[in-house]
Amino acid sequence: MSLLSVKNVSKHFGGIVANQDVSFSLNAGEIVGLIGPNGAGKTTMFNCIAGYFPPSAGEIYLNDEKISGLSPEQCAHAGIARTFQVARTFTSMSAQENVMVGAFLKNKHVATARQVANDLLEFVNLGKFKDKPAGSMTISEQRRLAVARALAVSPKLLLMDEVMAGLNPTEVKETVEVVLKIRQRGISCLIVEHVLEGIMPIANAIIVLDYGKKIADGTPQAISTNPQVIAAYLGVE
């Protein structure tokens, strides 16, 4: 049984078609990359899955339960968490307090939320920064902080939007190691990414969007040699 099933999803904004008849699935414990040129509809698809936009057509299921049309909070309770292209942190709050915000979704006691936050900060290699204001952290640290806060809601599926963008090779390696540890916890990851050297070696499958349509899906090796993908996105072979 698929953890996530996206079935013939389209999203229109007036006359603009952001996604058109997109279908794919993702199994428990998988890392799946969602790639494509700028404007291909990747973040719009994330927004439909996470409840920020209702699809104009089609349906989305999590563990065979329909989630399309639910609010972001309802999707979070169902088991979906996400990060954003630009790390959204509460800049004047500490790293620990930022993660506690996520933990409060399912843990109403302050002491429990604090322990969840401390454990997750260690998990993403930010334990020593728990009392540091988020606004003073580097971009790489803020992105990992956003991942920790998303994990604090105890998701089954984590949507990660360009967590490696703009990072140096060392920071990309650190982020990849965190993603692999997330998979070891049994949490599935759907990752929008342009840093192909980060996502290609670790993904179980890759989905490619272009002009809102799915043009290919398959193993990273199959995608990297697909002529249609090369023409649309990867450039000259």
Query: Model confidence over 173-223: pLDDT tens digits?
Result: 999 999 999 999 999 999 999 888 899 999 999 999 999 999 999 999 999
**Domains observed in the chain:** 1-79+157-237 (3.40.50.300), 90-154 (no CATH)
Query: Model confidence over 42-69: pLDDT tens digits?
Result: 999 999 999 999 999 999 999 999 999 9
Tokens of 54: 């209702």
Query: Model confidence over 88-139: pLDDT tens digits?
Result: 888 999 999 999 999 999 888 999 999 999 999 999 999 999 999 999 999 9
CA dist., res. 114 & res. 3, Å (int): 29
**157: Cβ–Cβ under 8 A, 6 or more apart, which residues?**
3, 4, 26, 62, 79, 80, 81, 187, 188, 189, 190
DSSP-based helix, strand, coil % in the chain, nearest 5: 40, 25, 35
Which of 142, 141, 149, 90 minimizes the C-alpha distance to 117? 149
